[in-house]
Amino acid sequence: MAKYNYVTCEEGVSQYDDYDLNEHRIVPARYVEAKLAIDTGNPYIEALPYPRTGRNIISSYSQTMADFDYDKIKSMSTIDKILQIRSLRSIRFPLPFHAELELSFYNALITSYRSRHILHSDNDKVSYSVENQEYAASNILIGDSSASTDAGFSLIGYSGCGKSSAIQMLVSYYPQVIMHTTENGEYFPQITYLVVNCIPNSNFSALYDGIGDAIDKALGNIKPIYSAEIMKIRTLGAKAERIREYVEKFAIGIIIFDEIQLIDFSHTRENSFDSLLTLSNRTKVATAVVGTEDAKAKMFKTLRTARRVGNVINGNMYCIVRTEISFTFL
């Protein structure tokens, strides 16, 4: 059973709403009662906010030009007008796939944490660094080998349809790092998500390096620690093993790979995307991929690979809310 106090909040409202999560990526844990009895007492699940629903999704995914004033247009200088025009790029509207994305993300997190258990030791501790300050913890989170590996999703759509923007608005609702406290005052970390941006023509070695860089940024390490460790390793197998250690040490919930189509998919086993998903099989960390139709063709060569990435969300669907007309953008 849980040995912590619960807070109460309405559905679609986070217990961390009083934090500016853009400024405070690391927050102390606050717990809400799990939706399902099977998750009761699981601190990694009960420290997560309930997912956004309904009108909360619509308002969260809507961004307008709040400072625009039509009456001031004539008195604007040329540079002011140019800046106003360029600010149009920041306008966002809620789209049909946003609701599915919200639910898929939350479901991936709780499925991942439900398939793992805490390994505790009173004799040995693992060290970790937050904001370049060293700490020690007696817990790591390991995967249950008997559990299935199906946590994750893929967001597929044409370039420019709003996939990356949707991911940005999605994760802005969740604290990236949650610090739990034991009864004896010891801290242990939980990284809820990592977003790894793939670079053009990169290989899987660079992808593993990117995971290390994302860990450092999440933990606020100005001087790279974990990315530096991974970059020192030469073989892909050893890099993957080090990533596994980090997933268990930091209880990483989900790793999102954005622009996955830019990866150089090799046919060798160690470089294949299927091999990368072995990380999920061993640790039960959820995996999400975001990319174009090209990425879908490269990744889902077999049904086994498609199943392990989870459901496919169609990012091409647009909706005119006022007239309730939905259509697929071609």
Q: Specify the pTM.
A: 0.86
pLDDT of residue 271: 52
Torsion of CA 162, 163, 165, 167, to 10 degrees: 160
Beta bridge partners of 178: 27, 190
For residues 22 and 169, the answer to whether their CB atoms sit within 8 Å is no
pLDDT of residue 68: 65
pLDDT of residue 1: 40
Q: Write down the residue that tokens 């050893």 correspond to.
A: 238
pLDDT of residue 262: 84
Tokens of 175: 């604290």
CA 292 – CA 161 distance, rounded (Å): 10
Helix (H) / strand (E) containing 120: strand 116-120
For residues 218 and 177, the answer to whether their CB atoms sit within 8 Å is yes
Tokens of 260: 């996955």
CA distances from 87 to 66, 73, 77, 297 (A): 10, 14, 15, 35
pLDDT of residue 149: 63
Q: What angle do CA 134, 215, 128 make, to 5 degrees?
A: 20
pLDDT of residue 36: 92
Q: In a structure prediction context, what are the per-residue pLDDT tens digits for the chain, which is 330 residues long? A: 457 889 988 777 899 999 999 888 899 999 999 989 999 999 999 999 999 888 888 777 776 666 666 677 778 888 877 777 777 666 677 788 888 899 999 999 999 999 999 998 888 889 999 999 999 999 999 998 777 666 789 898 888 788 888 899 999 999 999 999 988 888 899 999 999 998 887 778 888 999 999 999 999 999 999 999 999 998 888 998 999 999 999 999 999 999 888 877 655 454 556 667 788 888 999 999 898 887 766 666 654 555 566 788 888 766 434 434 444 433
CA 150 – CA 304 distance, rounded (Å): 10
CA 294 – CA 302 distance, rounded (Å): 15
